Amino acid sequence: MQRRDFLTTSALGLGALSLTGCYKEEDKKSININRGRKVALKLATSWPAHFPIMGTGVDDFASQCGKLSGGSLEIKVYPKNILVPALQVFDTTSLAQIDAFHSGVYYWKGKNSAFSIFGGMPLGLTSEEMITWMKFGGGLELWRELYAKFNLYPLIGGSTGPQMGGWFKKEINTLADLKGLKMRIPGLGGEVMKKLGVNPVLLPPGEIFTSLERGTIDATEWVGPALDSMMGFAKAAQYYYTGWHEPGSILEITFNKNRWEKLSNEHQAIITSATEAMTGNMIHEFRYKNAKALQELPKEVQIKTFPKEIMDSAKIALQEVLEKESKKSEDFKRVLQSYNEFTALNKPWDDISTKNFLEIRG
């Protein structure tokens, strides 16, 4: 044993006497080995540098990890395209070329269709409900099991809260108005829209406004008033529809699994706590900034809600999409079953608590 290690172990041994019962033996061992050893991790994101709410959220997360660890855990955040292209963060982390990433789970449905459920369900659970399913209803265990096949370890890394349904150049009154409409809408929401006659397209964020302005697309969804205002969509489309397809999208901070397992228990606990703080902050920040930005939308913007006929058809189309995906993938079927079990458990309580109260409050 080297002298420095001996000193560290002895010093901690004395201090730990009073903590007996707080730590398990393996925790103590891990802390002894890792205390004072500086760890530097590279984390790439899918957002531009300091992008409002999502990007600043991950900046704060990294800063918190540094503070909580007394400087022994340094997480360096690389905005999109600095170290890796925005949508290659999954692969590069999987291959251990970087240590971790911050992104949206729905981007990876091409890897495994089941991942789209972890990202959020159209007409489904809100952010708070999604996180409850993940933490207490088995969702997180399934997510970690399926990501382990890619040598990845995911943590919840924020959520957007309810998103808006999108910007439309013309008013949507009947199902016929959706036929042939070109709309930028990704994920399961896009598949539902396709069944309703929409032509869903995928566009990188930098091209959405120009495409909408020039009429290359007729509609686009993005996030909510806070971030949509920055994109200038109100200048290109007047009708702003309320949301249905992303009621609680989940973002992730995901680590290379081997890298995660080599971290000390102390650093793992710090990262876990920092992601939880980040998730809460992000939901609250989205709520506040969306509420404020809604008040500041240009006067010509008309807030609309899709007619019941369209939402009823969307519900039927969603069930068809989910059945089809379940037949194609055993993973999708398992994750959906867990999601549905939680939904069934949650609904009666939500009906008499939150939903009932919001109706009373009016």
Q: Site residues (CB under 5 A) for Ca ion?
A: 163, 246
In angstroms, give the least distance from the CB of 262 to Ca ion: 35
Cα-to-chain-centroid distance, residue 16: 38
CB nearer Ca ion, residue 246 or residue 252: 246
Smaller CB separation from Ca ion, 202 or 358: 202
Helix (H) or strand (E) holding 243: none
Instruction: Note whether 186 and 104 are within 8 A (CB).
Output: no
Of 64 and 163, CB closest to Ca ion = 163
Smaller CB separation from Ca ion, 163 or 268? 163
- HEC per residue, 45-107: ECCCCCCCCHHHHHHHHHHHHHHHCCCCEEEEEECCCCCCCHHHHHHHHHCCCCCEEEEEHHH
Which contacts of 199-206 are long-range, i.e. CB under 8 A and separated by 24 or more positions? Answer: 205/231
Question: Shortest distance, CB of residue 193 to Ca ion, whole angstroms?
Answer: 12
**Gap between the Cα atoms of 165 and 306, Å rounded:** 9
Please check whether residue 31 is in contact with residue 265, taking contact to mean a CB–CB distance below 8 angstroms.
Answer: yes
Choice between 30 and 160, CB closer to Ca ion? 160
Closest to Ca ion by CB, 154 or 166: 166
Distance CA 122, CA 318 (A): 8
Largest CA distance in the chain: 78
User: Which residue lies nearer to Ca ion by CB, 122 or 154?
Assistant: 122
Q: How far is the CB of 243 from Ca ion (least distance, A)?
A: 9
Q: What's the closest the beta carbon of residue 43 comes to Ca ion, in angstroms? A: 23
Strand 250-256 relative to strand 152-159: parallel, antiparallel, unpaired?
A: antiparallel
Residue with the two structure tokens 């560290």: 8
Give the separation between CA 106 and CA 90, rounded to whole angstroms: 12
Burial class (CB in 10 A: 0-12, 13-18, 19+), 18: exposed
Nearest approach, Cβ of residue 357 and Ca ion (Å): 28
CB of 185 to Ca ion, least distance (A): 8
How far apart, in whole angstroms, are the C-alpha atoms of residue 23 and residue 262?
19
Strand residues in 188-286 grouped as ranges (E): 199-201, 219-220, 239-241, 250-256
Q: Measured from the CB atom, is 79 or 248 closer to Ca ion? A: 248
- CB of 163: closest distance to Ca ion in angstroms? 5
Comparing C-alpha atoms, which of 323, 306, 253 is closest to residue 46?
Answer: 253
Residues in the chain: 362
Q: Which is nearer to Ca ion, 246 or 266 (CB)?
A: 246
Quote the least distance from Cβ 306 to Ca ion, whole Å.
16
Q: Which is nearer to Ca ion, 79 or 189 (CB)?
A: 189
Compute the least distance from the CB of residue 141 to Ca ion, in Å: 26
Report the distance separating Cα 219 and Cα 234, nearest Å: 11
Work out how close the CB of 167 gets to Ca ion at its nearest, in angstroms, rounded to a whole number: 12
